[in-house]
Chains A and B, each alone.
Chain A
Amino acid sequence: MEVNKTSKGKLLASGLIPFVFVILLIVYLFGSSGDLLDVGVSLPEVTIEKIVFVDGEIQATVRNTGHIPVEVVMADVNDRIQPAAIEPDRFLNRFETALVRIPFEWNESEPYTVGITTEDGTRFEKEIKAATQALKPSGELVGYFAIIGTYVGIIPVMIGLLWLPFIKRISKAKYNFFLAITVGLLLFLGIDAIEEATEVSAKFLAGSFNGILLIATVVILSFLGLYYSGNKLVKRADASPYAKPVALGLMIAIGIGLHNFGEGLAIGAAVGLGEVAFSTFLLVGFALHNTSEGFAIAAPMAKGKPMIGKLVGMGLIAGSPAIFGAWIGGFAYSPFTSIVFLSIGSGAIFQVAVAILGWIRKEDDKFLASASVVAGIAAGMLIMYITSILV
């Protein structure tokens, strides 16, 4: 017992010693010898993350994304100096944000460039293609986003679930084909989410956040997290032969739900920032695209007992996050959260794809060499690609 304790202490110490040295190194570099490596010039960097237009005022959210503290000293609209206010104050430490309020009688749907000048006279700007009144969280708007979310998320997923009786009646080889289609669909969705996150990162996120690495990190963490908890779920379900399809279906539903949350965020943000008019055409595209998600849940569930209640529940788990996403995206947009959730959704979906592949491998002897599996994955990808053109 005694020996064990000392060895534990030693273990702990040996684990901590490198940390102590790292801390000492940091203290040393920042401390007395601060000038040691002070070569080159640190330039200020300010990113205008968001611009909203309210009555008689343009509001810009600015963030210090450089390596040194900055002082915001001036604001301009279309390169014309304007008196403005900055809240809470004009001194920004690294990563700190402030709200710049510029009184300005802006005109609907005209383009505007907002500029911010720091104390060394450097100017940073961001352009908005068309000014539109910022959305205020009103009951009407909450309802509007809920309707969009329902059309994009819940309804298509529910429609997709209606394939269940069809899948139930087909032969094993054909069933594997449809499961493989699901894999194809999911792979596509996962890649799609990464692409979208990359786009948001390039457009809105300051370089200092390392957007691509952020996406990679979150995707992998999300994958691992769901892989771990999904395995536990499936293991527990192993006891009864009917529970396993439900567990798999639930995993898929959660994965797709996370994905739809990210999608809802993107839609809400696009409307909120006045980037797109949310047209019926776009709505039809999203709905078609997302019907396949219901199918993905239905495919494994077809092996279990028919349970309408559980099926509807899963439809809600998969579809309703689109509504919450649209609310958050529309009223409290932040590129950082958007990228994080898109990446979580992507990781979750890859995990689900892997889980289904595992399921197919158990059922099908030839697995990836079987024509039905290969054709299914290919068909899934193609379906998604074609419907994605409509979005």
Chain B
Amino acid sequence: MKNSKTSIMISILAIVSVASSLYFVIPGSIEAQSEEKTFVTHNGGIVRTTGEVLDPLYTSATMKFDPMEYLREFNYGRVSQLPDGITLREFTIIAEDDKIMEVSPGVFYNVWTFNGTVPGPTIRATEGDMVRINFINNGSKSHTMHFHGIHPAEMDGVFEPVGPGGGQFTYEFEAGPVGVHPYHCHMMPLEEHIVHGLYGVYIVDPKEGRAPADEMVMVLNGLDTDFDTENNFYAANTIPFYYQHHPIQINTDELIRVYVVNMVEFDPVNNLHLHGNLYHYYPTGTDTVPSFYTDMITLSQTERGIIEFEYDYPGKYLFHAHKVEFSEKGWIGIFLVKENPKSASIGVEYGS
């Protein structure tokens, strides 16, 4: 009698242990049939799955930051005239450090922002203008704005930390020199403040202006989402692969001018290669005569310049880092070149 009870207990014990180990060994064996989805690989292959697709495609539904909008958005500030006739451009920039942004589909990262985006707004002025930045720090840490360019020491945004929770500072300086420059927070630890997203582009136009062109801004940046001092993503304008899946539309026979600023940290260099074309390169944009005619430039930290080109033939052309690790982690895009409606008639003229 006693014996049989013990054996029952032992068999129960055995069943329980076997069942629980089976649970670990074959979990999820009961799965509902779902409809098939397809996706396209980088080589153009089509793959079917009963599950879900993991692909850095960005849908507008989840998007809080629109790289297409940022691309051609230039902020000239609130314009007024100073008594001495100088143009005053006033900007309000608010720093925050608590935003969680979906930087790539499904990947959420704590971005630190100027006016809510990474990169911050593109600030544009003409040489000799007075630039006034009303800086408000709504973050939880001290932040500053440090502009590359020529200005008095106390406007350098290094030794004047602006306190958290509404601290204010007014940066005021004469726009110059001509060119494209970065601005960024200069609080320590500097690397942390920069890689979280506190940077943007500052363009100073020459007084005589530049030739009319389809202008755009590309900030080459990286995201270290797991804080191991190695970038997990690279991009032009923050969102990996964005311009690959949403090509930038341009026209043939139209001058394209791109203000390129390299803000990638951790990796010593970045570069930019354009397909099916070469471009004129103006390092830092300080000179009106291009230094190179090339399809490849190398940029170190905060190195920047202006590239100008025109396409003769319509079609899809890649632009990407030729450090292909970066392009395979998101720093890649496409120019979709369309036949210029104006040049079509010119073409006839050329033929005649």
Residues of A within 8 A of B (CB): 56-57, 71-75, 79-90, 95-101, 103, 105, 117, 119-123, 209, 221, 225, 228, 334, 336-337, 340
Q: Is B25 a contact partner of A336 (Cβ separation < 8 A)?
A: yes
**Which of A96, A103, A209, A228 makes the CB contact (< 8 A) with B28?**
A96
The residue in chain A whose Cβ has the minimal distance to the Cβ of B330 is A81
| A72 contact set on B, CB distance < 8 A | 54
Q: Given A90-B52, A98-B51, A228-B10, A85–B39 Cβ distance below 8 Å? A: yes
**Which of B24, B28, B47, B225 makes the CB contact (< 8 A) with A98?**
B28
Q: How many Å from the CB of A209 to the closest CB on chain B?
A: 8
| B34 contact set on A, CB distance < 8 A | 88
Q: Does B59 contact A (CB under 8 A)?
A: no
List 10 additional contacts besides A85-B54, A88-B28, A123-B232; criterion CB under 8 Å: A73-B107, A83-B42, A84-B55, A85-B47, A87-B49, A103-B43, A121-B107, A122-B225, A225-B10, A225-B14
Q: Does B105 contact A (CB under 8 A)?
A: yes
CA distance A23 to B108 in the complex (A): 36
How does the 8 Å CB contact mask read for B326-350 relative to A, with 1 for contact and 0 for none?
Answer: 0011100000000000000000000
Q: Does B21 contact A (CB under 8 A)?
A: yes
For the complex of A and B, the 9 pairs showing the least CB-CB separation, nearest first, are A121-B225, A73-B106, A87-B51, A85-B49, A80-B328, A83-B55, A103-B41, A84-B54, A88-B31
CA distance A220 to B145 in the complex (A): 66
Q: Is B42 a contact partner of A122 (Cβ separation < 8 A)?
A: no
Q: Does B325 contact A (CB under 8 A)?
A: yes
The residue in chain A whose Cβ has the minimal distance to the Cβ of B31 is A88
CA distance A95 to B25 in the complex (A): 10
Q: Does B17 contact A (CB under 8 A)?
A: yes
CA distance A95 to B23 in the complex (A): 9
Q: How many Å from the CB of A134 to the closest CB on chain B?
A: 17
CA distance A233 to B107 in the complex (A): 60
Can you list 24 A-B pairs, Cβ within 8 angstroms, ordered by A?
Answer: A56-B45, A73-B104, A73-B107, A74-B56, A74-B104, A74-B107, A83-B40, A83-B41, A83-B55, A87-B51, A89-B52, A90-B51, A90-B106, A95-B27, A98-B28, A105-B43, A117-B225, A119-B107, A119-B108, A120-B108, A120-B225, A121-B108, A122-B225, A228-B10
| A122 contact set on B, CB distance < 8 A | 225-226
Q: Does B240 contact A (CB under 8 A)?
A: yes
Q: How many Å from the CB of A314 to the closest CB on chain B?
A: 24
Q: How many Å from the CB of B339 to the closest CB on chain A?
A: 31
